[in-house]
Amino acid sequence: MNQEKTEELGKELSKLLILRAKKLEDSLKEIVVEVKSENINELLRNNKLIFLYFTAEWCGPCITFLQTFKEVAAQHITPGVLYGKVDVDSSYSIADKYKVKHIPSIIIIMNNEVVDSIVGQTSKEKLENKILSYIHSSSPP
């Protein structure tokens, strides 16, 4: 293979990788669903296990930790498990319903019952372990 052909293939591969990265980034945004008053009841009805991430646009730690939440969610996509994000300013009624006093917080709901919560930031490893423990306990043997 000549030099010109190799460079052409390299450029083509680079374009494909950039496109693939963009698609992955877009799909990552969809993994964490925006939860609002209008859709919460349907989401509760249709999912056995829900991880609700409570955040606000003005909260620096929330923005930082959201990336960790998204990364862990992307690695543990499971049928019947929903990863949701609740903006406490625009969906105050949800935050009030679950008595969220501090953000960032994650409320863990199994079969429509709050079973656990994580208040504040935690390491990716601890978050992943917590999520995995609930996924394993919610799935049939």
**Catalytic annotation, residues:** 59, 62
Q: Phi/psi zone of residue 111: left (φ > 0), alpha (ψ -120 to 50 degrees), beta?
A: left
Which residues lie closer than 8 Å to 26 by C-beta, 6 or more apart?
Answer: none
The CA distance from 136 to 139, in Å, is 5
Burial of 42 (0-12, 13-18, 19+ CB in 10 A): exposed
